[in-house]
Structure 1
Amino acid sequence: MNTLSSHVLDTTSGKPAQKMQLLLTLPDGSTCSGETNSDGRFNQWNIDDFPAGEYCLRFFCKSYLLSKHGQSFYPFIDIHFEIEEQGGHYHIPLLISPHGYSSYRGS
């Protein structure tokens, strides 16, 4: 069974990015959305098992960055990744600041 979670951290303030909107596009083109919690995390996709294929996770960071730092170079950030058959748990962290970001496959 495959599962998916995400975590967004604001590297400028050193705090979790709360209430950031997320949009996940599945391999079949369908989408589901969510919002990071008070710890900057989200894992409530309402999907029991993520099928193998290519995904896109969009982080709508502009309103968050504008409210916290008064500026945002990126209106959104798309992370494309591939889930494998029986790949297990996938964690997509995002580290953001008004002018940069980084991501990796977490645990």
Structure 2
Amino acid sequence: MLTLRLYMLQRITALLMAPLVLGHLAVMIYAIQGGVSAAEILGRTQGSLAWFLFYGTFVIAVSVHGAIGLRTVAHEWGGLKGPVLEGFMWGFGLILLILGGRAVWAVTFATGVNA
């Protein structure tokens, strides 16, 4: 039953990520073709709840999706099972969430050079 739930959760996160990836790519293409600098990008994203929610949702979906996918790889190729496999999945997902969350915070709300 757990495997079915994880399978469905991975598919749901994939459906959620698809439009977010397209939106991210559209923003990146616009920024590159428009010659927008990193400072200009940060000027537009700092203090923006909309960008925080967009990229925050993206990070959560990627963290869940990636952790479940890596769990499958660790089980099939690495032979991990039981609590070790579950701990690996949760640990990897948490690392992705922390790193992605820090990046989103830095781009949307943190201020200063060392943010």
Question: TM-score normalised to the size of structure 1?
Answer: 0.25
Work out which of the two has the higher radius of gyration on C-alpha atoms and give 1 or 2: 2
Higher strand fraction (1 or 2) = 1
Higher helix fraction (1 or 2) = 2
Question: TM-score normalised to the size of structure 2?
Answer: 0.23
